[in-house]
Amino acid sequence: GAVVSQHPSWVICKSGTSVKIECRSLDFQATTMFWYRQFPKQSLMLMATSNEGSKATYEQGVEKDKFLINHASLTLSTLTVTSAHPEDSSFYICSATLPRADASNQPQHFGDGTRLSIL
């Protein structure tokens, strides 16, 4: 159980375009999802916390207007990289937790990540 699906797994696009990445919890409802960014040979950096039905909470230094997060349902959160540029190229990973009542003693469950390359 607790499977998180991320789509697409790989995307290449031209500079200036917007790219949407989806994160779905397949067999559970996730009131909270997280978006991370990972640079080559580096650890995961938390970008934002996405809460169903409310605005996302962004970490310091992450541009809200650049990285739009929408969590419209209990099983889907989306990250849109707007007007993407080569410096936005990275590996983006989402994770989800069980609803708060069940969250204690539960790990975050991660998607397989999306490799974004901006030309």
Contact flag: residue 107 with other proteins (CB under 8 A): yes
Q: Do 52 and 31 touch, CB atoms closer than 8 A?
A: yes
28 binds other proteins (CB under 8 A): no
Q: How far is the CB of 110 from other proteins (least distance, A)?
A: 4
3-state secondary structure at position 86: helix
Determine, following the binding rule CB under 8 A, whether residue 75 of this chain makes contact with other proteins. no
Separation CA 46–CA 30 (nearest Å):
17
- Residue 90 interacts with other proteins (CB under 8 A): yes or no: no
Chosen residue from 13, 44, 68, 76 binding other proteins by CB under 8 A = 44
Shorter beta-carbon distance to other proteins: residue 28 or 110: 110
Asked if 26 touches other proteins (CB under 8 A), the answer is no
Contacts of 86 (CB under 8 A, 6+ apart): 15, 118, 119
